[in-house]
Amino acid sequence: MTVAELMHKPAVVVRQEITLAEAAKVLDQANVGAAAVLDHEGHLVGMVSERDLLRSVGHAIDPGATTVAEVMTRTPVTLSIDDSVAKALRLFTERRFRHLPVLDAEQVAGILSIRHVVRVAQISEVLPAGSAPPELAPRGLEGVAVAETSVGDVRGEEGFFHYRGYNAVELARRCSFEQVWHLLVEGTLPDGSQLADFTARTVAARKLPEGITDMLRGVATLPNYTPLSSLRSAVSVTAAALGAQPTLDLTSEQVRADCLRIAALVPVALMRLHRQRNGLAPVEPDPELGYAAAYLQMLTGRRPEPREARALEQYLILTMDHGFNASTFTARVITSTGSDIGSALTGAIGALAGPLHGGAPSRALAMLDAIGTPDRAEAYLRAEILAGQRLMGFGHRVYKTDDPRSLLLREVASELGGPQVEFARRVEDTALRVLEELKPGRRLYTNVEFYAGVVMNSVGVPRDMFTPTFACSRTVGWTAAIAEQASNNRLIRPSALYVGPPPPRPLPDGYGVEAAALSARG
Ligand SMILES: CC(C)(COP(=O)(O)OP(=O)(O)OC[C@H]1O[C@@H](n2cnc3c(N)ncnc32)[C@H](O)[C@@H]1OP(=O)(O)O)[C@@H](O)C(=O)NCCC(=O)NCCS
């Protein structure tokens, strides 16, 4: 079969001087996904597709003032009318094209879409033996950029991460939780009146919606309660009670308003669960207190010391966001379907709950407990490493130098002071020395989890609340990602490389339901 039999003909064509808005109209009227771009002599100079148009809108390019010539694919790969469908399919799969212009001599005779090809043939029948399979991304998508973001990024080799371009460690040193929250979700550092307005909105949003207190009590008394899985259920229920609508039907402002409300409510719901589980009366959040101080007040029932609240606030700011991690990606995938923010956050907490993501702050503390006294550190740590164990709170997939979060948290812990902090510093020094000796060249440094546990413990957060506390601050990063995805959405729908038995497989003889049984089922 040749491509001439399958292509869309005559080709839909546009001139390169017309605007993107005009080109979009042509594609829409012809109901095709791409057009050939011709010069004055009628020669093919490029291809323009729906994807080009969408990408331009995503980059805030004015479609009424930008010409096709500025965005089209120049000197495109072409097919000839005599080419086989197998050749076309190979080009589509190897080069990731979706449309190819088909030439008859010098003239554009038609356009072949990958849909034309896939519709007519089983891939296995058309692909010649030995041809290359579709490209497979590396396992775990390591090193693959799957989206553009302005929220923030991690530079592992430099030991640096940022939120919207600002050094996140500097933000944690100098700013309040609410200032950084505004930066991440609203996109800018707030001035004085913006901050006052934003803070007032976050305080007002701390009121649990009607009718969910009983449900939270039910969750808190489940037999196999764990704080994080209960928080996941609580977020789902809370979003349902708030009536969160599909992001597809909302304006950007409405999405951000939902983001603010739910991020303000997550710690309130968490603390209700925690106190009810522990037989304590719930504590309403004090409207006079900022996020971090109110967090501790709802947890313990007393107003925290300012230095305790500030220490927790710095931890919370440092953990709001961290590049395109698994839970952030999850939140974006769910949002890309147009689903509501409650679904996206519930999924994100589910991703965070996995041991490979949720971190090990309580395990680092458990290691300190197991060591017990400074004089036992060296022997314990050596024995662990020689037994093939990993030291909790050391090493990182991305940071191959000091984890910037651990540097600041070490300072924060030191300011809080106390015997545990002193002990942790001695264990850290020993661990780094022993790792250098027993694992030379692996570039293992202290990670965020080592001092996170120490800081949280020092300000009164119980161990089983470490990861839920992390989930609260990370909700800010998730909501920033959700708002960004919703404002420039495209359904995230990758493909997989099928490696099972070759299709189509015949069903075994006689297999299935008897005809009589089928008709009895109606
Ligand atoms: C975070 C972590 C999973 C990253 O691991 P990674 O980038 O996949 O590193 P690798 O598994 O490739 O390890 C490379 C080498 O360093 C060693 N290593 C890594 N982290 C180590 C640790 N904490 N203690 C001892 N050795 C460690 C590995 O054993 C391996 O040694 P080898 O070359 O002799 O086999 C890992 O460092 C770890 O398990 N740390 C402890 C748990 C922890 O603190 N988690 C919180 C992370 S924020």
Q: CB atoms < 10 A from the CB of 476, how many?
A: 27
Mutate to test the pocket of ligand 1, among 139, 439, 445, 448 (most ligand atoms within 8 A of CB): 439
By CB atoms closer than 10 A (0-12, 13-18, 19+), residue 350 is: middle
* All residues at 6 or more sequence positions from 349 whose CB lies less than 8 Å from its CB, including other chains: 228, 231, 232, 235, 327, 471
Global confidence as pTM? 0.76
Mutate to test the pocket of ligand 1, among 157, 382, 394 (most ligand atoms within 8 A of CB): 394
Residue 358, ligand 1, Cβ within 6 A: no
Quote the ligand 1 centre to 147 CA distance (angstroms): 28
Between CA 266 and CA 274, with CA 269 as vertex, the angle to 5 degrees is 120
Please give the mean pLDDT across all residues of the chain: 92
- Give 192-221 pLDDT, tens digit per residue: 999 999 999 999 999 999 999 999 999 999
Residue 285, ligand 1, Cβ within 6 A: no
Quote the ligand 1 centre to 401 CA distance (angstroms): 13
Residue 367, ligand 1, Cβ within 6 A: no
Q: CB atoms < 10 A from the CB of 516, how many?
A: 7
| The pLDDT of residue 52 is above 70 | yes
Between CA 68 and CA 17, with CA 490 as vertex, the angle to 5 degrees is 5
First to last CA, the chain: 42
Distances (CA, A) of 509 to 404, 505, 513, 515: 64, 12, 12, 14
Distances (CA, A) of 184 to 17, 171, 376, 487: 39, 11, 44, 14
Active site residue 484: no
Asked if 220 contacts 230 with a C-beta cutoff of 8 angstroms, the reply is: yes
Q: Helix, strand, or coil here: 445?
A: coil
Residue 449, ligand 1, Cβ within 6 A: yes
Quote the ligand 1 centre to 431 CA distance (angstroms): 13
Within 59-187, strands assigned E span 73-74, 79-80, 99-104, 107-113, 152-155, 160-163, 166-167
Quote the ligand 1 centre to 445 CA distance (angstroms): 10
Phi and psi torsions of 117, nearest 5°: -70, -45
Amino acid at 213: T
* Residue having the nearest C-alpha atom to atom 6 of ligand 1: 397
Residue 392, ligand 1, Cβ within 6 A: yes
| The pLDDT of residue 12 is above 90 | yes
Which of 172-186, 208-222, 354-368 is predicted least confidently? 354-368
- Residue-level pLDDT at 208: 96
Residue 54 — pLDDT band, cuts 50, 70, 90? confident
Q: Report the C-alpha gap between 285 and 303 in whole angstroms.
A: 10
- Dihedral sign computed on CA atoms, order 384, 388, 392, 395: positive
* Residue having the nearest C-alpha atom to atom 30 of ligand 1: 442
Residue 442, ligand 1, Cβ within 6 A: yes
Q: Report the C-alpha gap between 483 and 335 in whole angstroms.
A: 9
* Residue having the nearest C-alpha atom to atom 39 of ligand 1: 390
Residue 448, ligand 1, Cβ within 6 A: yes
* Residue having the nearest C-alpha atom to atom 32 of ligand 1: 439
Q: Which helix (H) or strand (E) holds 309?
A: helix 306-318
Question: Greatest CA span in the chain, whole angstroms?
Answer: 85
- Give 484-511 pLDDT, tens digit per residue: 999 999 999 998 888 899 989 999 999 9
- Give 434-467 pLDDT, tens digit per residue: 999 999 999 999 999 999 999 999 999 999 999 9
| The pLDDT of residue 371 is above 80 | yes
Query: Exactly one of 99, 162, 274, 396 is catalytic; which is it?
Result: 396
Q: Helix, strand, or coil here: 306?
A: helix
Closest ligand 1 atom to Cα of 359: 46
Residue 5 — pLDDT band, cuts 50, 70, 90? confident
Quote the ligand 1 centre to 391 CA distance (angstroms): 8
* Residue having the nearest C-alpha atom to atom 33 of ligand 1: 442
Quote the ligand 1 centre to 394 CA distance (angstroms): 7
| The pLDDT of residue 133 is above 60 | no
- Residue-level pLDDT at 516: 73
Residue 121 — pLDDT band, cuts 50, 70, 90? low
Quote the ligand 1 centre to 397 CA distance (angstroms): 8
Quote the ligand 1 centre to 429 CA distance (angstroms): 17
Residue 411 — pLDDT band, cuts 50, 70, 90? very high
Instruction: Look at residues 255, 262, 318 and name the one whose alpha carbon lies nearest to residue 292.
Output: 318
- Residue-level pLDDT at 421: 95
Asked if 459 contacts 315 with a C-beta cutoff of 8 angstroms, the reply is: no
- Residue-level pLDDT at 397: 84
Q: Report the C-alpha gap between 176 and 310 in whole angstroms.
A: 9
Quote the ligand 1 centre to 320 CA distance (angstroms): 23
Q: Helix, strand, or coil here: 104?
A: strand
Q: Helix, strand, or coil here: 222?
A: coil
Residue 447, ligand 1, Cβ within 6 A: yes
Q: How many CA atoms lie within 13 A of 379 on its CB side?
A: 7
Distances (CA, A) of 18 to 14, 33, 63, 69, 449: 8, 17, 10, 8, 56
Quote the ligand 1 centre to 395 CA distance (angstroms): 5
Mutate to test the pocket of ligand 1, among 161, 357, 384, 390 (most ligand atoms within 8 A of CB): 390
* Residue having the nearest C-alpha atom to atom 29 of ligand 1: 390
| The pLDDT of residue 129 is above 60 | no
Question: How large is the average pLDDT for residues 177-185?
Answer: 98
Residue 393, ligand 1, Cβ within 6 A: yes
- Residue-level pLDDT at 135: 72
Query: Exactly one of 313, 384, 449, 484 is catalytic; which is it?
Result: 449
Residue 357, ligand 1, Cβ within 6 A: no
Residue 434, ligand 1, Cβ within 6 A: no
- Residue-level pLDDT at 151: 98
| The pLDDT of residue 344 is above 70 | yes
Q: CB atoms < 10 A from the CB of 122, how many?
A: 11
* Residue having the nearest C-alpha atom to atom 36 of ligand 1: 395
| The pLDDT of residue 337 is above 90 | yes
Q: Report the C-alpha gap between 486 and 471 in whole angstroms.
A: 21
Which of 9-23, 157-171, 288-302, 321-335 is predicted least confidently? 9-23
Active site residue 182: no
Which of 52-61, 335-344, 415-424, 472-481 is predicted least confidently? 52-61
Closest ligand 1 atom to Cα of 356: 3
Residue 452, ligand 1, Cβ within 6 A: no
Amino acid at 34: A
| The pLDDT of residue 57 is above 90 | no
Q: Which helix (H) or strand (E) holds 516?
A: helix 515-520
100 vs 124, higher pLDDT: 100
Helices (H), 158-281: 168-174, 177-186, 192-204, 213-220, 227-242, 252-277
| The pLDDT of residue 360 is above 80 | no
